[in-house]
Amino acid sequence: MKTGMLKISPGFEEIMPPEYRELVDNGPYGKDYGIGDLGSYKELLEEHPLCAGCGLALSLRLTLASLPMPEDTVIVGSTGCSALAFPQVALHNIHSLFGNQNAVASGLKRALKLRFPEKEKDVVVIAGDGATADIGLDMVMQSWLRREKITTIMLDNEAYANTGGQESGMSMQGAVLNMAPTGKKFPKLSLPEIAHTCGCAYVAAASPAKPKQLAKVVRRAILVAREIGPTYVQLYSPCPTNYKFNPKETVSLIKQREKDGLYQSKEYISQEAQAFLESIEVKK
Amino acid sequence: MRESSYKVLPGPEGYLPPAAATMGVMLPDPGQAIMEGESVDRDTALRAAALKLIEARNPVFFPGPLILWDWKPGVAEKATALKELAEAVGAKMIPMPDYRPKYPMINPAIEVNPNHPNLTIWHNKIDVCLFIGVHCHYANLALKIIRGGTDCYTIAVCAEAGHEEAMISLRDAGLCELQRLRELVIELKGGKNQ
């Protein structure tokens, strides 16, 4: 993003809606903010139409607050609940056809590299489990196999949540949903392991129940993708609407799942990525 | 330029008006402009635009991102000229800072959006609007929606090839055209703002 894009033309300050003035005066662009600074600045996403207690909304908020360089980040989204929130996000973002997000992101990253060879531009795919693990799995895996320098973040709510509640490849075996009344017949896909096998330099599974860990893995994934190769982050983001739990219990449900051994945080780091992360994290 | 019998006039033309281009309306050649679907010379269009603006009950300018944000040299000068033009006309300005759909959070009292410009026009009872600094594909989208759902007269001051969806559209318009439009507004008002 050109820094001038953050400057209002003379004489127009008064007519700009307050939201934009706040983003210019107190937004995260060009500043090294993290989740510890939440509440002290104008966030990239403040209003959205997602359901009360939506785990995905919480993951998205923390993810956006963890971007190392929001002013030079382009988000590529896909169809799903997250697509309802992206029109409100104050970042460059592209909505792709359902499942096509990693193909779009691959082309975008290459084009940005040609157009701005001296400038780092982070391309981050943020999509749901349907787009990532079912409909778009081909495009996702092919981008990893081609070693595209992009980050893929899956907001895993274990369902097609805004179309009435169908099971996805990421639903747990036995999960009962409105449109899967007899329960899912096969196990949850192990996408972190697939990503690792496909050559992702950095792979992590985290959840908004541990915000600091989520922030750390998102940041690591983006920095590794910038320097080394594809990275994958899976964020468990339960859906109170389709899984029919109290919206205020989203975080406690994640903790309970972890306690029961039904969800675990993970991290796979290639040797090259490990050396890179050690070099930058020691420096910091 | 081929002439079309189709007129690009204030609506409401209906839910899905045909794209003016599909009805044979062509973009103006360099040095020309279009008025209600017909090619005219630039000065004729400027004078007609000035007249529409001063005769309007509630003229409103919709500045877009290309002029609202000071992103390259020359923009600040155009922004100042636009503000002076708005003052000469007595027009309010409602900005289009970006193209996020933002539905259903759009506040039509203070902003306009290419995806539902009709909301801002209805809410503010705008009878003449002027687009400037809006990227062409979004301007065309918004202008077509306005023509489909409102009776607002649309003027596009375009720095590129113009807009066949607008009732009056200039092309290659820059600082000079804004200054000329202001002069014409003052002249037609009888020199009151000089």
Q: What is the pLDDT of residues B86-97, one digit of tens each?
A: 999 999 999 999
Task: Tell me whether residue B20 is in a domain.
Answer: no
Task: Tell me whether residue B45 is in a domain.
Answer: yes
pLDDT of residue A6: 81
pLDDT of residue B172: 97
Q: Which residues pair with A232 in a beta bridge?
A: A152, A203
B41 CB contacts (<8 Å, ≥6 apart)? Answer: B31, B32, B33
Nearest partner of B154 among B136, B132, B135, B184, judged by Cα: B132
pLDDT of residue A47: 83
Nearest partner of B90 among B185, B190, B187, judged by Cα: B185
Listed in order, strand segments (DSSP E) in chain B are 32-35, 38-41, 59-63, 92-93, 128-132, 153-157, 168-170
pLDDT of residue A202: 98
Task: Tell me whether residue A71 is in a domain.
Answer: yes
Residues of B in contact with A90 (CB under 8 A): 100
Give dist(CA B36, CA B39) in Å, integer.
9
Q: How many CB atoms lie within 10 A of CB A278?
A: 11
Give the B window 18-57 contacts with A, CB below 8 Å: none
Task: Tell me whether residue B1 is in a domain.
Answer: no
How many residues in total does chain B contain?
194
Are B68 and B133 in contact by the 8 Å Cβ rule? The answer is yes
Are B56 and B127 in contact by the 8 Å Cβ rule? The answer is yes
Check residues B14 and B155 and name the one with the higher pLDDT. B155
pLDDT of residue B101: 79
CA distances B152 to A147, A170, B156, Å, are 52, 50, 13
Q: What is the pLDDT of residues B122-134, one digit of tens each?
A: 999 999 999 999 9
pLDDT of residue A216: 98
Could you give the ipTM of this predicted complex?
A: 0.90
Q: What is the DSSP string of B50-74?
A: HHHHHH-SSEEEEE-HHHHB--STT
Distance from CA of A2 to the nearest CA of B (A): 7
3-state secondary structure of B41: strand
Structure tokens at A205: 């599974």
Q: Does B70 touch chain A (CB under 8 A)?
A: yes
Q: Is the peptide bond before B63 cis (omega within 30 degrees of 0)?
A: no
- Number of structural domains found in chain A: 1
Q: Which of A15, A44, A89 to mutate to test the interface with B (most CBs of B within 10 A)?
A: A15
Task: Tell me whether residue A43 is in a domain.
Answer: no
Task: Tell me whether residue B9 is in a domain.
Answer: no
Residues of B in contact with A20 (CB under 8 A): 97
Amino acid, single-letter form, for residue A266:
K
A226 CB contacts (<8 Å, ≥6 apart)? Answer: A120, A122, A149
Q: What is the pLDDT of residues B147-194, one digit of tens each?
A: 999 999 999 999 999 999 999 999 999 999 999 999 999 999 986 554
Give dist(CA B166, CA B21) in Å, integer.
11
Residues of A in contact with B63 (CB under 8 A): 12
Which domain range does residue A226 map to?
A: 50-283
Q: What is the pLDDT of residues B60-111, one digit of tens each?
A: 999 999 999 999 999 999 999 999 999 999 999 999 999 987 766 789 999 9
Residues of A in contact with B96 (CB under 8 A): none
Which domain range does residue B107 map to?
A: 33-188
Residues of A in contact with B75 (CB under 8 A): 9
Task: Tell me whether residue A151 is in a domain.
Answer: yes
Task: Tell me whether residue A192 is in a domain.
Answer: yes
- Number of structural domains found in chain B: 1
Q: What is the pLDDT of residues B15-45, one digit of tens each?
A: 889 999 999 999 999 999 999 999 999 999 9
Are B148 and B11 in contact by the 8 Å Cβ rule? The answer is yes
Give dist(CA B101, CA B142) in Å, integer.
12
Distance from CA of A16 to the nearest CA of B (A): 6
Please give the residue of chain B at the shortest CA–CA distance from A49.
B104
Mean pLDDT of successive 10-residue stretches along chain A, which has 284 residues: 74 93 93 94 90 96 96 95 91 94 98 95 97 98 98 98 95 96 97 98 98 98 98 98 97 97 96 96 72
pLDDT of residue A46: 82
Q: Which residues of chain A have a Cβ shorter than 8 Å from any chain B Cβ?
A: 2, 4-12, 15-17, 20, 47, 49, 87-90
Task: Tell me whether residue B132 is in a domain.
Answer: yes
Q: What is the pLDDT of residues A16-52, one digit of tens each?
A: 999 999 999 999 999 989 999 999 999 999 888 899 9
Task: Tell me whether residue B10 is in a domain.
Answer: no
Q: Which of A6, A12, A45, A89 to mutate to test the interface with B (most CBs of B within 10 A)?
A: A12
Three-point CA angle A246, A247, A248, nearest 5°: 90
Task: Tell me whether residue B63 is in a domain.
Answer: yes
Q: What is the mean pLDDT of chain B?
A: 94
Q: Give exposure, A34-50, as e/b (b: 16+ Cβ within 10 Å).
A: bbeebeebbbbbeebeb
Q: Which residues pair with A231 in a beta bridge?
A: A151, A202
Inter-chain CB proximity B102 and A88 less than 8 Å: yes
CATH number at residue B88: 3.40.50.12640
CATH number at residue A231: 3.40.50.970
Task: Tell me whether residue B70 is in a domain.
Answer: yes
Are A9 and B97 in contact by the 8 Å Cβ rule? The answer is no
The pTM score is: 0.89
Distance from CA of B94 to the nearest CA of A (A): 7
Q: At what angle do helices B42-55 and B175-188 cross, to 10 degrees?
A: 50
